[in-house]
Amino acid sequence: MPGVRRKKGAAKDPGLETEALHLPGPDSSDPIEPSSEISIPEMDNDDSDFEEPKAPGKVSRKRQPKGDLTNQPAKKAKRGGKKKDVEEMQSGDDTGSLFDVVKGGKSSLQAVVDEWIESYKSDRDQALLELIQFFIQCSGCKGKISPYMYGNMEHAEIIRKMTEEFDEESGDYPLIMTGPMYKKFKTNYCELVQVLVRQCQYSIIYDQYMMDNVISLLTGLTDSQVRAFRHTSTLAAMKLMTALVDVALNLSINLDNTQRQYEAERQKNQSKRAGERLELLMSKRQELEENQEEIRNMLTYIFKGVFVHRYRDTQPEIRGICMAEIGVWMKKYPNMFLDDAYLKYVGWTLYDKTGEVRLCCLRSLQPLYETEDLATKMELFTNRFKDRIVEMTLDKEYDVAVQAVKLVISVLRFNENVLSDKDCENVYELVYSSHRHVAQAAGEFLNNKLFQRDDEATKNLKSKKGKKRSPNTPLIRDLVQFFIESELHEHGAYLVDSLWDINEMIKDWECMTDLLLEEAGKGEEPLDDRQETSLIEIMVCCVKQAATGESPVGRGPNRKLTVKEVKQVSEEKTKLTEHFIVTLPQLLAKYLMDAEKVTNLLQIPQYFDLEIYTTSRQEKSLEALLRYLHEIVEKHTDMEVLEACSKVFESLCSDEFAIAGKCDVARSTLIDSLAVKFKEAMQDFFAEGEQPDDDDTFTLVASLKRIYAFYNCHNLSSWNLWDDLFHIVRTASENNAIPEEVVCKSIAACSMAVLWYLQKVDGEASPDKNEVLLLKKRLEQLMRHSQELLFHPVNRVDEEAFITICDLLVVFSKQIAETNPLLKCLVYESDKNLQGQLSGFLTDKVFVEDDDDDLDENVKIEELHKKRNFLASFCKLIVYNIVHIRTAAEMFKHYMKFYNDYGDIIKATLSKAREINKVATAKTLVLSLTQMFKDVQSEQQTIDRSSDSFQSIKELARRFALSFGLDQLKNREAVAALHKEGIVFSLTGQENPPTSDNPPPNLPFLEILSEFTNKLMKQDKKTVVNYLDKSLSGGVPSNRGDDWQPLLTYRNSLVQGEAEIHPITLRPAIPAKPVSRGMKRKQPDGSVHDDNQWGSKEGRRTSCWHGWPASVV
């Protein structure tokens, strides 16, 4: 290429790194990266549009000899005559420019590039100027390059001029702008660069002018401090390199074809050989080799001049572009790029602090592991960065974690032994992740490792009776064993969801039930008890997901199913119903006495398509199911089993199905039996003159459990059980000897009975007056005795009474009259006594520190859950405005102390209370603080303001102040009321007027109140100061000691920054001369004060409250 001028920037020294990062240079063959702390540069400001400049170096335009594009830049001779040094920069785009075409996106880029090529052939300087202007405009720069500038200025000078014209304030440029105009800009921009190279690949790119100038300009722009230039030019340079890779591939193919043709021609006999053709082929081969070398030089130059610097740019989007494109080069042109000298950059960037960049790295590596030829070349890289890739499966960015798991799967495809068992276990555990995409990716990994079906090995597998086993049988066994070994029981639904769309064994109902019902055949091991329990749990989870199409709770929001998915769910529901209608009675019969297994099995009928009982003529199966349900209820006393049976009957007795009549008869028969046994147990337990023994107690408890379980789902009012149930409650409030289990179940059953009575009268258009009065009587009786049971010595009893009272107060609140005015008499309002008892219950049972460190962790969690339930029950009364907000004062006291356990509940309650009444809530917060202050007073004779207890009150006040937010106007009345209440409390509490030796006992509270000063509006601060001064009967004593410091602190916080009100200090004040009544006196700030204003009652009220919100006054 000698003799052709070109404009070219000086090659950068690959070892010159301007960012402070200790990485080997790109020429280094060492693939080892530094530690993750320094792998990626620390950026002070990621959002900055500017980057620190590299070491100064001028981009020259010297000519470079052919074959060495990296070290000897060339300079182009000046063109044209004398012109102005610099033409004035212009704003605005030329209509029909390349930029307009790309931005508009309506023209064919192929046609645009062809037109540009014709222009280049006519006048290459003008065409190249247009192309350079295009890159400048695409960066968002409005500056214009004149022909004179292009002909007489270096690229570095041009870029500097364009930088001066750049609009630095907006920060926007086309690549990051949104809106319909820029919707396809990035795609069109990248495509134009690639089409340009593709159309020029046979001649123009080898003319040592066009490509040299474009590469020189882009390299200079990527070194700019302006983010827009760097981002736009880096994208163009990387896409240009990708297009050149495509050219190199074409050259490689053509070279191979030419070489084959040459060898074939040369091997012919001398007589048949064509000498001219041999020379032609040899000449063509030589030309292709030269072109290939030229392209490789270009690729090497761009890589060292752009990629090596920009792959660690301060902006993550620029780093991401580099990582995305290098993966393309490695995939397309592995002979050059799939080498450790290039792979190391991807490996280092796996430690990038930005998730999107890490994701680009993983996506670049993914295709390289999907073909065996490329995967074998990755061995050194895999061994070096395997641990990091496995570590990234736990990435905080879920998209990165998902991609990391997928990459691990690909890595294992051609190298099964690369991961250790520990590495695999780390990925296995992700099937229980709360993020569904991560869990499903881990499920695919688990499936590839453990659940590959082998039909050949299972073709002769049979049960003891000779029934052929499903090919999925070994997989189901492995799944059960994995579930057991993972030790995460009660999370079977998560495991099932992870494998749902991956392995068909999850829906192989017959395989599962055969493993449970059929005896093990020859060569099989029977399932042990734990395996059977786990298999049943997994099977039930599969049934639920198949019948509902819903993911487990906690795996993200359940989206609405598509029409296709609804149809699929319906088909799956039919299949599982047809299978389990027959097999479920057999399973219940086998595991009848096993409470855990039966509880799980009884979940299955709730997902049946019950119409199939009729359409498939399965009456006998239905009768068998009802018979076993009856038997289970009579033989079990476990509440979970009984509640499951009750729910099954609820489903079967639904009126929309034809089987409802038969099921209703079975249910009534069962409840008749339960009612009779309950009444008999009552007679035996409460027999006169006899003390109940253990058998009597057990029988009554068992009957009460069954009654309560069915009361939860069925209306038992027609069996007249109220009198017996309430008799137990009434007796328990008088006699503490009744067993706690009996009392608790009786209270709960009575509560359910009241709710069923309410449902009956509420459902009638004109309810019977006597029935309403009877319900009111029973409600009042139950509430009265439950209130007495709040003081029962047994914990379980008073806890059940508390929950019952809270629930019934919500149900029978004022809203019941709003929905049905005929039920107004049923409204139950709590008195102050009851509210105080409920609040006291929280103090005794909830806000208690757990000092027992020996308790099992699971027990502690259950205990905390129970306490949170108590607190939530009480908070509902506040939120629904059933009890006064002031009742919550005791609860708010513990906000900070128990923040970790109950902070979320208390915070939500405080927020809802403000929506009801801001002023009342503010007064309640002050009440909480004053109660805590009194507690400290009772402990300390004199308040020590430096003590931990006092500082804890200040910390609570600070947290309360933060809860008011930043909108002072919205909270104006509430904050004003808060200060008024605080001042009144602080300055009262003693009979004699305060003196210098005798300050008000509550005065230190003002220091706590000062935490709320910044929530006052400016005009209200003046009013508060006036009110504070007036409230001080006798004023501030002249001889002020340290005891008066809280007053000074509070007052100074109010007047801080107010020129017209001077703060007061600890220095003695100058005594004022006595002023007679009715005279005016001059204030220390120079204002004139009229004593008459303060003398009259009207004057005092006006001065104190002037400017305060009316509601506070």
Top pLDDT among 151 and 72 is at: 151
pLDDT in tens, 412-454: 988 888 888 888 998 999 999 989 999 999 999 999 998 888 8
Tens of pLDDT, residues 981-1039:
999 998 886 555 555 457 788 888 999 999 999 889 888 888 888 888 888 766 666 65
pTM attached to this predicted model: 0.77
Q: Is the pLDDT assigned to residue 820 strictly greater than 90?
A: no
1067 has a pLDDT exceeding 50:
no
Judged on CB neighbours under 10 Å (0-12, 13-18, 19+), 685 is: buried
Per-residue pLDDT, 273: 65
* pLDDT single digits (tens) 94-149: 456 888 888 877 778 888 999 999 999 999 899 999 999 999 989 888 888 888 88
Cα angle at 927 between 921 and 929, to 5 degrees? 110
Q: Rounded to the nearest 10 degrees, how much is the dihedral formed by the CA atoms of 17, 22, 23, 28? A: 80
* % of the chain surpassing 90 pLDDT: 55
Q: Which pLDDT score is estimated for 943? A: 80
Please determine, for residue 84, whether its predicted confidence score (pLDDT) is greater than 60: no
Determine which of 551-555, 740-744, 818-822, 995-999 has the lowest per-residue pLDDT on average.
995-999
pLDDT at 523 over 90: no
Q: What whole-number distance in Å separates Cα of residue 820 and Cα of residue 812?
A: 12
The encoded tokens of residue 1024 equal 């508060």
What is the pLDDT confidence band of residue 645, given thresholds at 50, 70 and 90?
very high
SS3 1090: strand
| Ranges 48-52, 182-186, 217-221, 360-364: which has the least confidence | 48-52
Given a cut of 50, is residue 594 above it in pLDDT? yes
Q: How confident is the model at residue 806 (pLDDT cuts 50, 70, 90)?
A: very high
What mean pLDDT do residues 211-238 have? 93
pLDDT, one tens digit per residue, over 478-509 is 999 999 998 766 789 999 999 998 999 999 99
The predicted structure's pLDDT at residue 689: 75
pLDDT, position 871:
95
Q: Helix/strand/coil (H, E, C) string of 551-620?
A: CCCCCCCCCCCCHHHHHHHHHHHHHHHHHHHHHHHHHHHHCCCCHHHHHHHCCHHHHCCCHHHHHCCCHH
- The size of the chain, in residues, is 1113
Give the pLDDT score at 557.
73
27-41: burial string, b at 16+ Cβ within 10 Å, e else? eeeebebeeeeebbb
The predicted-structure confidence for 276-333, as pLDDT tens digits, reads as follows: 788 888 888 899 999 999 999 999 999 999 999 999 999 999 999 999 999 999 999 9
Q: What is the pLDDT of residue 1001?
A: 84
Least confident segment among 578-592, 797-811, 1037-1051: 1037-1051
Provide the pLDDT for residue 1035: 62
pLDDT of residue 519: 87
Question: Which helix (H) or strand (E) is 189 found in, with range?
Answer: helix 185-200
User: How many CB atoms neighbour CB 516 within 10 A?
Assistant: 19
pLDDT exceeds 70 at position 44:
no
912-935 pLDDT, tens per residue?
999 999 999 999 999 999 999 998
Which strand (E) or helix (H) includes residue 219? helix 210-222
What is the rounded CA–CA span in Å between residue 1003 and residue 987?
A: 6
Per the prediction, the chain carries an average pLDDT of: 83
Whether the pLDDT of residue 81 is over 80: the answer is no
- Quote the CA–CA distance of 658 and 14 in Å, as a whole number: 82
Q: Which residues partner with 1089 through β-bridges?
A: 1081
Please name the residue that has the structure tokens 């790194």.
Answer: 17
> For 932-943, how does the pLDDT look when each residue is reduced to its tens digit (9 = 90+)?
999 888 887 778
Is the pLDDT at 88 greater than 70, yes or no?
no
Predicted pLDDT of residue 720: 93
- Element housing 444 (H / E): helix 436-450
Is 529 within 8 Å of 591 (Cβ atoms)? no
Whether 475 shows a pLDDT value over 60: the answer reads yes
Among the listed residues 317, 315, 307, 335, the one whose alpha carbon sits nearest the alpha carbon of residue 241: 307
**pLDDT score of 27 more than 80:** no
Q: What residues form DSSP beta bridges with 1012?
A: none
Q: What is the DSSP string of 79-114?
A: -SS---S-PPP--SPPTT-HHHHHHH--S-HHHHHH
**Predicted local distance difference test score (pLDDT) of residue 164:** 84
pLDDT of residue 65: 34
What's 209's DSSP letter?
S
Report the Cα 99 to chain-centroid distance in Å: 41
Residue range 878-900: average pLDDT? 92
Cα–Cα distance, 643 to 1085 (Å, whole number): 78
pLDDT band of residue 735 (cuts 50, 70, 90) is confident
For the segment 861-888, the average pLDDT, to the nearest whole number, is 93
Label residue 55 by pLDDT band (50, 70, 90): very low
Question: Is the pLDDT assigned to residue 1088 strictly greater than 80?
Answer: no
